Amino acid sequence: MNNRSFNTLLSRGFDSNLAKQLLENGYNLTKLKNLDKDSLLKINIPEKIISNILKEDRPPIPTKTIVKLLYDSKRTCCICRNNNKSIIIHHIKEWHYRKDHSEENLVVLCLEHHNDAHTKKGLSLNLKPVDILHAKSEWLNSVKNSDAKAILGLTLIDGARWDYFNHNRIFELFFASNLDYKNYRFSKITKELGLINELGTFGIKDSFKSQFYSFSDGYLLYNYMKELFDNVLQNISLIDLTDKFSREQIKSLVKVGSYISIQIGFYFKNITKKTNGINQKEFVIIKRKVS
């Protein structure tokens, strides 16, 4: 399924299941616009959407906003949090009042709760804008670190390990997050051995960087560093780009200062002839094509 065509239909008010079904049957927005109303009704498109796409009286939601909104919400309704339901993008303040396509005025809802947001019970809506805003905030806060937690889960797999630490950057994030190292499993022993200082950090000479943990108690310091890095990951918002294959998607999600993760094929290539000891140097070659 073409992600761009999918996002284009979502931006016109289609729910996710209907958009997917139409694309699988060979319909994109251009083909739909060439059909008459009766033909569109036969393929189960709601009258309100038919009116929108034939008249195009409202500009579509920008693709960049769609991508960011779907990613942040994990394509899940913020009210019921059921990720098996078809979803739709809803304007919290209705378009004809605010004409606002900003991310702050948009939310991902399932069809049931989207209907509640437009249905009145007595003199008030079943689902008020203030309730939606609160639910959206709660949901986004609860899932914003989910990618980092997924990466931490991968480190528990047998044989998984960190092959490289950018120590200075990790220590910088450690201090910025106001974390405490004293309760780590390996804190006490590494401190008693003089491997870490009062701040929980240590210095590294340039000449030893590539073989820093290759000494008798190196495995203790490595495990301490692993605990510290895992703690840092739990406290930052990480963007997983593993399934993002277009520049449009990546640019919609990543900004200067963003932290990203990615699972891709790669291999090492030697750039020196040394095969052991210090001063070995390798390139990491990444095997991935971005469209």
Span 10-30, pLDDT tens digits = 988 899 999 999 999 999 988
Give residue 282's pLDDT.
66
Query: Is residue 247 helix, strand or coil?
Result: helix
Average pLDDT, the chain: 84
**Angle formed by the axes of helices 3-10 and 16-24, to 10°?**
130
Q: What is the pLDDT of residues 130-156, one digit of tens each?
A: 999 999 999 998 888 777 777 777 666
List the domain boundaries for the chain.
Answer: 1-60, 64-143, 147-233, 238-287
Sequence-distant (≥ 6) Cβ neighbours of residue 58 within 8 angstroms: 52, 95
Cβ atoms of residues 2 and 23 within 8 Å? yes
Per-residue confidence band for 287, with pLDDT thresholds at 50, 70 and 90: low
Distances (CA, A) of 33 to 18, 26, 37, 50, 197: 16, 13, 9, 9, 68
pTM of the predicted structure, to 2 decimals: 0.65
Maximum Cα–Cα distance for the chain, whole Å?
A: 80
Q: What is the mean pLDDT of residues 49-69?
A: 85
Give residue 264's pLDDT.
75
Give residue 281's pLDDT.
67
User: At 118, which helix (H) or strand (E)?
Assistant: helix 111-118
Sequence-distant (≥ 6) Cβ neighbours of residue 60 within 8 angstroms: 8, 11, 12
| Integer Cα distance of 220 and 138 in angstroms | 39
Q: b/e for 193-214, b at 16 or more Cβ within 10 A? A: eebbeeebbbeeeeeeeeebee
Cβ atoms of residues 226 and 187 within 8 Å? no
Q: What is the pLDDT of residues 186-234, one digit of tens each?
A: 999 999 999 999 999 988 765 455 567 777 888 899 999 999 999 998 8
